[in-house]
């Protein structure tokens, strides 16, 4: 029986994936994926939600409330460099017209009206190396909690080399128990290099009332409503994922699974 936490593209072009709080049966995170041919457009507006448009690949002209922010985008696939992104405040009408084959992710979360749209230039982003050995991954924070211009959204992308684990040792963030742990819903948008590969992700709770193990393929999204959520990619295939997180408080405080915490002391 297919996992309810695994969402595959519904079509080859246009809005290929749409996750809303209603469809996900949660409160905060929205996550759409658009695939656009040259000349095709995507658009949207969220009256009470802020938006981060992440250019996964390709280039396109971005407009917010009718004003052009120019043509942005640079990399042709997610394994070629850092992303261009655009932040749109609640109530802002946005559109993207593709100049090349283009994949964009639309990340949303609750927000009050106010603030300005802005471009997130990849030149302002740094790459952080986390872990070591076969638990190494490379992290690029697009909208980290240190960026106070966003109200709810936390957006980050991660590349995990072939044969390695990620989001590991297993951790969770599903309790509003600050300063020890924050409640954050989360989505993972997965890409593989080469694209015919696959990886695995498990989402599970201590009591195992939720325990889903999923084989993820290029272009899939996994949803993490609660629980631990480690990933592993197989030999020969690098794994990329875009994380979108949001909750009642905009901070990332996680709790490690005690059984695996010893790995942090190696």
Residue-wise pLDDT for 136-184, tens only, equals 999 999 999 999 999 999 999 999 999 999 999 999 999 999 999 999 9
Mean pLDDT, residues 21-27: 97
Overall fold of domain 14-265 = Jelly Rolls (2.60.120)
Residue 15 has which token pair? Answer: 């809005």
Distances (CA, A) of 222 to 29, 52, 71, 187, 258: 12, 19, 30, 6, 24
Average pLDDT, the chain: 97
- Give the span between the Cα atoms of 181 and 253, in whole angstroms: 5
Is the pLDDT assigned to residue 48 strictly greater than 90? yes
- Give the span between the Cα atoms of 78 and 81, in whole angstroms: 7
Element (H, E) at 24: helix 21-24
194: exposed, middle or buried (Cβ count in 10 Å: 0-12, 13-18, 19+)? exposed
Long-range contacts, 73-81 (Cβ 8 Å, 24+): 73/99, 73/100, 73/102, 74/122, 76/100, 77/191, 77/193, 78/157, 78/159, 78/191, 78/193, 78/240, 79/159, 79/191, 79/193, 79/238, 79/240, 81/122
Residue-wise pLDDT for 180-211, tens only, equals 999 999 999 999 999 999 999 999 999 999 99
For 18, residues 6+ apart whose C-beta sits below 8 A from its C-beta are: 32
Residue 116 has which token pair? Answer: 């300005």
Of 6, 3, 5, 15, residue with least CA distance to 42: 15
Give the distance from CA 158 to its chain's centroid.
9
Confidence category of residue 266, pLDDT binned at 50, 70, 90 = confident
Q: What's the predicted TM-score (pTM) here?
A: 0.97
Mean pLDDT, residues 94-102: 98
């Amino acid at each position: 029986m297919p996992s309810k936490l695994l969402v595959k593209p519904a079509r080859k072009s246009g809005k290929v994936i749409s996750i809303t709080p209603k469809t996900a049966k949660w409160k905060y995170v929205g996550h759409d994926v658009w695939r656009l041919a040259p000349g095709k457009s995507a658009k949207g507006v969220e009256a009470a939600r802020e938006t981060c448009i992440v250019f996964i690949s390709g280039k396109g002209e971005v407009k917010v409330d009718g004003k052009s922010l120019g043509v942005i985008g640079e990399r042709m696939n997610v394994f070629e460099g850092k992303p261009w992104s655009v932040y749109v405040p609640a109530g802002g009408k946005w559109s993207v017209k593709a100049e090349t084959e283009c994949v964009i992710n639309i990340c949303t979360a609750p927000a009050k009206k106010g603030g300005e749209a802005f471009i997130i230039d990849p030149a302002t982003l740094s790459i952080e190396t986390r872990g070591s050995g076969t638990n190494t991954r490379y992290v690029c924070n697009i909208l980290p909690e240190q960026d106070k211009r966003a109200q709810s959204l936390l957006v980050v992308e991660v590349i995990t080399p072939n044969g390695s684990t990620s989001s590991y040792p297993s951790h969770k963030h599903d309790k509003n128990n600050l300063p020890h742990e924050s409640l954050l819903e989360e989505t993972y948008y997965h890409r593989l290099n080469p694209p015919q590969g696959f990886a695995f992700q498990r989402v599970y709770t201590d009591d195992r009332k939720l325990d889903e193990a999923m084989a993820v393929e290029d272009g899939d999204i996994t949803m993490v409503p609660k629980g631990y959520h480690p990933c592993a990619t197989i030999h020969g295939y690098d794994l990329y994922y875009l994380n979108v997180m949001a909750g009642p408080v905009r901070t990332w405080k996680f709790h490690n699974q005690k059984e695996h915490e010893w790995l942090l002391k190696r």
